[in-house]
Structure 1
Amino acid sequence: MKALITGASSGIGRDIARVLSTKGYDLILVARRLDRLEELKKELSCNVQTISLDLAQEESCFRLYDLVKNQEIDMLINNAGFAVYGEFDQTDLTRELELIHTNIKAVHILMKLFLQDFKRRNRGYILNVASSAAFLPGPLMAAYYASKAYVLRLTEAVHKELQKTNSKVYVGVLCPGPVHTEFEQNAKITFGVKALDSPYVARYTVDRMLKHKRMIIPGILMKAAFALTKILPQKILLHFLYKLQKEKFV
Structure 2
Amino acid sequence: MKALITGASSGIGREFARYLAELGYDLIICARRTDELYKLRDELSNVRVRVITIDLSREQDALDLYEHLSIDGEEIDVLINNAGFGVYGKFSDTPLDRELQLLHTNICSLHILTKLFLGDMLKRGSGLILNVGSMAGFSAGPTFSSYYASKNYVVRLTEAIHEELRRSGSKVKVSVLCPGPVNTSFNDVANVKFSVGGLNPRDVARYAFDKAQKGKMVIIPGAGMKVVKFFEHFLSEKALTRMSYNVQSRKDGNGNA
Q: Which of the five TM-score ranges fits, normalised by the shorter chain?
A: over 0.9
For residues 246 and 83 of structure 1, what CA distance do their matches in structure 2 show?
Answer: 15
Instruction: Name the count of aligned residue pairs.
Output: 250
For residues 229 and 30 of structure 1, what CA distance do their matches in structure 2 show?
Answer: 35
In structure 2, give the amino acid aligned to 1:149.
Answer: N
Alignment correspondent of 1:206: 209
Alignment partner of 1:52 is 2:53: yes
Q: Secondary structure at the match of 1:180?
A: coil
For residues 224 and 176 of structure 2, what CA distance do their matches in structure 1 show?
Answer: 18
Alignment correspondent of 2:140: 137
Q: 1:1-250 counterparts in 2 under 5 A? A: 1-44=1-44, 45-69=46-70, 70-250=73-253
Stretch of structure 1 that moved more, 148-157 or 223-232: 223-232
User: Shift in Å at residue 228 of structure 1?
Assistant: 1.5
Q: CA RMSD in A?
A: 0.7
For residues 156 and 245 of structure 1, what CA distance do their matches in structure 2 show?
Answer: 26
In structure 1, give the amino acid aligned to 2:66.
Answer: Y
Q: Secondary structure at the match of 1:179?
A: coil
Q: Secondary structure at the match of 2:29?
A: strand
Q: Deviations over 1:1-49 (max 9, x none)?
A: 0000000000000000000000000000000111100000011121000
Q: Secondary structure at the match of 1:140?
A: coil
Q: Deviations over 1:161-191 (max 9, x none)?
A: 1111100000110000000000111111011
Q: Secondary structure at the match of 1:222?
A: helix
Q: Deviations over 1:100-137 (max 9, x none)?
A: 00000001000000000000001000010000000000
The alignment's TM-score, normalised by the length of structure 2, stands at: 0.96
For residues 78 and 209 of structure 2, what CA distance do their matches in structure 1 show?
Answer: 11
Q: Which segments of 5 or more consecutive residues in structure 2 lack a partner in the other structure? A: none
Stretch of structure 1 that moved more, 66-75 or 93-102: 66-75
Percent identical among aligned pairs is 52
Q: Which segments of 5 or more consecutive residues in structure 1 lack a partner in the other structure? A: none
Q: Secondary structure at the match of 2:27?
A: strand
In structure 2, give the amino acid aligned to 1:200.
Answer: D
In structure 2, give the amino acid aligned to 1:89.
Answer: S
For residues 229 and 136 of structure 1, what CA distance do their matches in structure 2 show?
Answer: 9
For residues 139 and 205 of structure 1, what CA distance do their matches in structure 2 show?
Answer: 27
Q: Deviations over 1:177-236 (max 9, x none)?
A: 000000111111011122101111011111111111111100001111111211112222
Q: Secondary structure at the match of 1:73?
A: coil
In structure 2, give the amino acid aligned to 1:37.
Answer: L
Q: Deviations over 1:32-75 (max 9, x none)?
A: 11110000001112100000010111110111001212212101
For residues 22 and 77 of structure 1, what CA distance do their matches in structure 2 show?
Answer: 16
Q: Secondary structure at the match of 1:156?
A: helix
